[in-house]
Amino acid sequence: MNEPTWQLAFVSDDEERIQVRDFLEEHIHELPADAVPASCVDYMYNPRILAARDKSSNDIVGAALSCHPHTLAASIMMTHNEAMPQMPNLKGLERFTEKVSELDLMAVSPSHRRKGLGTQLVNALEYRLKSDGCKVWYGCSTDDLAVDELLKFYTKAGFRIATSTQGLPPLLGVQWDIATFEKATFHFYKRL
């Protein structure tokens, strides 16, 4: 197998996060401006942001973001901001701070697909999450994506699949998925 033409690195500073966000925006339909969190809110999202850069041009050719689920981030925000409306069903979730992560965003440049980059992104994130003490990792796919390809990809990466009718099962005794604007076509999850 040929040596990869890219280099993986975790991103922490805001300038690099903007570059990752710009790359993801090119490949993900209607990406919100705050999709890649600024470092000032790391306490809420605990993001692991990974970028793959082309070795010759230094352009980003792949990126992934795994972070706290939105329900956990909201629980953390409530504990840090007493003025925020309190939602009893979210109280106490902060005890899961290092135990659960959501693969929120991932994209690979079309010119670098089917070369193992997506697998390397997932493997590097999984290794980092395990090292950080994460016990459960999950995500979802929506119907605006290449669903059949992604279903095969996540299955091959060792994730269990839950269809939209099944929904994401409780993980660590908590129902993590919440109603979103886009309905999940399928969820994928694994215990680490």
Tell me how far the alpha carbon of residue 64 is from its chain's centroid.
Answer: 6
Model confidence over 48-102: pLDDT tens digits?
Answer: 999 999 999 999 999 999 987 765 555 555 555 555 454 445 455 555 567 889 8
Task: Give the predicted TM-score (pTM) of the model.
Answer: 0.85
Tokens at 44, concatenated: 């809420």
The pLDDT value recorded for residue 134 is 92
Q: Which CATH superfamily is domain 6-140 in?
A: Gcn5-related N-acetyltransferase (GNAT) (3.40.630.30)
| Positions of the chain with pLDDT under 50 | 84, 86-88, 90, 181
Residue with tokens 């890219």: 6
The pLDDT value recorded for residue 91 is 53
The share of the chain scoring above pLDDT 70, in percent, equals: 79
The pLDDT value recorded for residue 65 is 96
The pLDDT value recorded for residue 29 is 82
Spell out the domain ranges in the chain: 6-140
The pLDDT value recorded for residue 15 is 97
The pLDDT value recorded for residue 163 is 82
